[in-house]
Amino acid sequence: METNSNTVIKVEGINKSFGDNHVLRDFSTQLLKGENLVVLGKSGSGKSVLIKCIIGLLKPESGTVDVLGKNVPELEQEELDQLRVKVGFLFQSNALYDSMSIRQNLEFPLRRHRKNMKQEVVNQLVMEVLGQVGLEDTADKMPSELSGGMKKRIALARTLILKPEIILYDEPTTGLDPITGRGISSLMLSVQKKYNSSSLIISHDLACVQMTANRIVMLIDGGCYTTGTWKELQSSEDEKVKQFFE
């Protein structure tokens, strides 16, 4: 695989297994600057594992994960923290802190990554991202008071508050109604335009995929089965690929 100076994430030949369960086998892919790359794969195929290897929550047994020029599995804690400022991660389960209010949830990454930020600046940023996701009036609520779609949007706001260069979305629209799902997809697009960020999106919601994907990677049997644009894959004759687009 040739390296382009525009590559922001380059995953090469990673293997990851849990006991006998060999989840990722020699998986390789790359994400270019400004690109929206969708990873498509069956439930349990290892998409979340892949994305966690990229952010350094899991360590692959072999292979390299190059993010913005740094090999993630070998980074020291401090370098990893610095890198994570530039990489946003939207958890599949949202992972909002349920002992904290929405405001505290949003402040948490700011307070942690930017230690000396003034309170007014923090407040302003919080209101700004809440405005972006259209939930200004929830700042002082607790996560348990919100609906599933609202939680997803707050989780997205928490990811965006650090204005990351790369955003990793783990199933941003799964479990939402089509309208809310479309809302999130267009939000993802507008964020990408505004910050010129690059996104790696995991999804099997075809509406979301169609709206957001510049390029699609099929993760099948732990490897990168094929890659192409929405049009190319949709008209593909390959049985395994076809299944996804029916």
DSSP symbols for the chain: ----TTEEEEEEEEEEEETTEEEEEEEEEEEETT-EEEEE--TTSSHHHHHHHHHTSS--SEEEEEETTEEGGG--HHHHHHHHHHEEEE-TT----TTS-HHHHHHHHHHHHSTT--HHHHHHHHHHHHHHTT-GGGTTS-GGGS-HHHHHHHHHHHHHTT--SEEEEESSSTTS-HHHHHHHHHHHHHHHHHHT-EEEEE---HHHHHHH-SEEEEEETTEEEEEE-HHHHHT---HHHHHHT-
What is the footprint of ligand ATP within residues 14-43 (CB under 6 A)? 18, 21, 23, 41, 43
Query: Which residue in the set 36, 48, 132, 159 belongs to the binding site for Mg ion (CB under 5 A)?
Result: 48
Tell me how far, at minimum, the Cβ of 22 lies from ligand ATP, in Å: 9
Tell me how far, at minimum, the Cβ of 119 lies from another protein, in Å: 14
Tell me how far, at minimum, the Cβ of 181 lies from ligand ATP, in Å: 15
Report the half-sphere exposure of 23 (CA within 13 A, side-chain side).
21
Q: Which of Mg ion, ligand ATP, another protein, none is residue 175 near (CB under 5 to 8 Å by kind)? A: none
Q: Which is nearer to ligand ATP, 52 or 158 (CB)?
A: 52
Q: Is 243 a residue that touches ligand ATP (CB under 6 A)?
A: no
Name the residues that contact another protein, by CB under 8 A.
52, 55, 57, 77, 81, 84-85, 89, 91-93, 95-99, 108-109, 112-113
Q: Is 97 a residue that touches ligand ATP (CB under 6 A)?
A: no
Q: Which of another protein, ligand ATP, Mg ion, none is residue 28 near (CB under 5 to 8 Å by kind)? A: none
Tell me how far, at minimum, the Cβ of 52 lies from Mg ion, in Å: 9
Residue whose C-beta lies closest to ligand ATP: 48
Q: How many CB atoms lie within 10 A of CB 64?
A: 15
Tell me how far, at minimum, the Cβ of 6 lies from ligand ATP, in Å: 27
Tell me how far, at minimum, the Cβ of 170 lies from ligand ATP, in Å: 7
Q: Which is nearer to Mg ion, 161 or 168 (CB)?
A: 168
Which residues make up the interface to ligand ATP (CB under 6 A)?
Answer: 18, 21, 23, 41, 43-49, 92
